[in-house]
Amino acid sequence: MCASVSVEVPQKTDYKKYLDPRTLAKVAALDVRARLIVEGFITGMHRSPYKGFSIEFAQHRPYTSGDDIKYVDWKVFGRTDRHYIKQYEEETNLQVMLVVDASNSMNYAGQFNPQWRKFDHAISIAASMAYVAIHQQDGAGLAVFDQKIRKLLRPSNSPRHWRTIIEELSNSPGGPKTGTGQVLEEIAEEIRHRSLFIVIGDMFDDPAGIIKGIRHLRYRRHDVIVMQVLDHDELEFPFRNTTMFKGMEDLAEVVVEPQALREAYLEEFQKHTEALRTACHKLQVDFLQIDTSVPLDVSLPGFLANRAARIH
């Protein structure tokens, strides 16, 4: 008679749990946090959601004998009855430029997760995308700003460069106010090589200025993604009792009855967001609103997968 032996099979790390902001808030080191986010995405999907960042469609050319038929554009064939091949730019041509708002308003952390500021969410996204870009041999750069550009790192695909990006994101102080539009115009003049710009911030700034800055980037033929990072409180305005609100960018304190203010606040907030969203759509810019209380596997993969499908 054989004795039964119980063997405990070691479980793989559940990286997807690190996509929850409440868990991420407990991981102090930004480089570790970024790696966990990337692992969470990759282990949770059949293919990397960053695929669409790597290769950009360039042009068509006529099909010639020996070409791989998987690159035939069948939509063009349907219209012209001729075979054309899609040509793509080399992966190494891609530069990802991360533009992160470090103004005081980004320091807000609401009731859902008081230890997790909008800035924490923003730099976690930026660090993870820089990590993926560099590991795909693409270049990653960084601009940290408030009213002006506080730090500008030009794109590089050196592994050491990712460490420099992490250090700058970890040490970025909150500036008094935001000057998004002017900053984007300045960066558009500094970075001449065609790049993918990922602008990450709360967009609490003059929408006309922001749109002007984005238009300048598009004029320079840059691809642009706008990620509006917001606390759940800012999206829902859940306050019920008499509350003192303190302006985070040199605005006065004011005591109000939130329920009397909520409807007007949400109406103005909606107008502001829709103005940005509509302008981005017209300029062929991707716009994504991100709630810092929502796990990253809910807010990002669908958006990135749709973008990849459009590009390819």
Which CATH number do you get for residue 260? 3.40.50.410
For residue 142, being part of any structural domain is answered with yes
For the chain, give the mean pLDDT. 80
Please compute the mean of the pLDDT values over residues 260-275 and round it to a whole number. 91
Domain containing 65 equals 56-88
Q: Is the pLDDT of residue 277 over 60?
A: yes
Domain identity same for 136 and 98: yes
For 116-153, give one letter per residue: b (16+ CB within 10 A) or e.
bbbbbbbbbbbbbbbbbbbebebbbbbbbbbbebbbbb
Taking alpha carbons only, the member of 58, 123, 92, 95 closest to residue 187 is 95
Domain identity same for 275 and 178: yes
For residue 184, being part of any structural domain is answered with yes
Domain identity same for 78 and 177: no
Please compute the mean of the pLDDT values over residues 194-208 and round it to a whole number. 94
Please compute the mean of the pLDDT values over residues 187-203 and round it to a whole number. 94
For residue 102, being part of any structural domain is answered with yes
| Per-residue model confidence (pLDDT) at position 93 | 53
Please compute the mean of the pLDDT values over residues 207-233 and round it to a whole number. 95
| Per-residue model confidence (pLDDT) at position 296 | 85
Q: Is the pLDDT of residue 237 over 60?
A: yes
| Per-residue model confidence (pLDDT) at position 62 | 66
Q: Which residue matches tokens 């470090």? A: 102
φ and ψ at residue 199, rounded to 5 degrees: -95, 120
Please compute the mean of the pLDDT values over residues 170-184 and round it to a whole number. 85
Q: Is the pLDDT of residue 214 over 90?
A: yes
Domain identity same for 118 and 64: no
- Of the listed ranges 16-20, 129-133, 163-167, 177-181, the least confidently predicted one is 16-20
Q: What percent of the chain has a predicted confidence (pLDDT) above 90?
A: 44
Domain identity same for 162 and 297: yes
Domain identity same for 266 and 279: yes
Please compute the mean of the pLDDT values over residues 85-110 and round it to a whole number. 78
Domain identity same for 108 and 239: yes
For residue 14, being part of any structural domain is answered with no
With contact defined as beta carbons under 8 Å apart, do 98 and 149 qualify?
Answer: no
For residue 216, being part of any structural domain is answered with yes
Domain identity same for 100 and 197: yes
For residue 174, being part of any structural domain is answered with yes
For residue 8, being part of any structural domain is answered with no
Last residue of a domain, one of 41, 72, 88: 88
Domain identity same for 30 and 66: no
φ and ψ at residue 278, rounded to 5 degrees: -65, -45
With contact defined as beta carbons under 8 Å apart, do 173 and 245 qualify?
Answer: no
Taking alpha carbons only, the member of 16, 6, 165, 195 closest to residue 96 is 195
Distance CA 221, CA 204 (A): 25
Which residue would you say has higher pLDDT here, 104 or 77?
104
β-strand pairing of 223-230 with 149-156 = unpaired
Taking alpha carbons only, the member of 145, 118, 275, 153 closest to residue 212 is 275
Domain identity same for 150 and 244: yes
Q: What percent of the chain has a predicted confidence (pLDDT) above 70?
A: 73
For residue 106, being part of any structural domain is answered with yes
Domain identity same for 61 and 137: no
Please compute the mean of the pLDDT values over residues 296-309 and round it to a whole number. 76
Domain identity same for 65 and 162: no
With contact defined as beta carbons under 8 Å apart, do 142 and 153 qualify?
Answer: yes
Domain count, the chain: 2
Which residue would you say has higher pLDDT here, 173 or 296?
296
